[in-house]
């Protein structure tokens, strides 16, 4: 999915993961706005990556479990920027808050993602 959308991971550490995706016709809906699904994909990718980085050394996997979004402002050009901040590191699930902004730094969406933590297959 990263390659299909052009998602770029920019920073990860201390419970924060940042990344972005370029706005192109691949992620625009017919009216020229970035599709909400692309925003959610970026948010889940950031939070899944952050969770995996936190649990992989324990032989665990990170799997998307639940996601919801409040879409507030459209993005039509530039980049979709995401900053995921972990809010809870549980034994079986991590909860993240993801802020989506445009290149002007305006808040465009708030997304909450729950990422399941499971044992990796043998």
CB atoms < 10 A from the CB of 50, how many? Answer: 27
Q: Pick from 11, 15, 18: which is nearest to 88 by CA? A: 15
For residue 12 the two structure tokens come to: 């990860």
Helix (H, G, I), strand (E, B) or coil at 19: strand
DSSP string for residues in 43-95: HHHHHHHHHHHHHGGGTEEEEEEEEEEEE-S---SSEEEEEEEEEEE-SSEEE
Task: Mark whether 53 is an active-site residue.
Answer: no
Question: Which listed residue (8, 44, 53, 97) is catalytic?
Answer: 44
- Positions annotated as catalytic residues are 44
């Amino acid at each position: 999915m990263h390659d299909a959308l052009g998602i770029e991971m920019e920073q990860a550490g201390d419970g924060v993961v940042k990344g972005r995706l370029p706005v192109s016709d691949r992620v625009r809906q017919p009216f020229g706005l970035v599709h909400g699904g692309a925003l959610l994909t970026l948010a889940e990718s950031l939070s899944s990556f952050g969770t995996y980085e936190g649990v992989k050394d324990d032989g665990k996997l990170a799997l998307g479990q639940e996601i919801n979004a409040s879409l507030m402002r459209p993005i039509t050009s530039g980049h979709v920027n995401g900053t995921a901040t972990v809010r809870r590191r549980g034994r079986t699930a991590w909860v993240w808050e993801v802020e989506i902004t445009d290149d002007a730094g305006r808040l465009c969406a708030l997304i909450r993602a729950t990422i399941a933590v499971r044992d990796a297959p043998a």
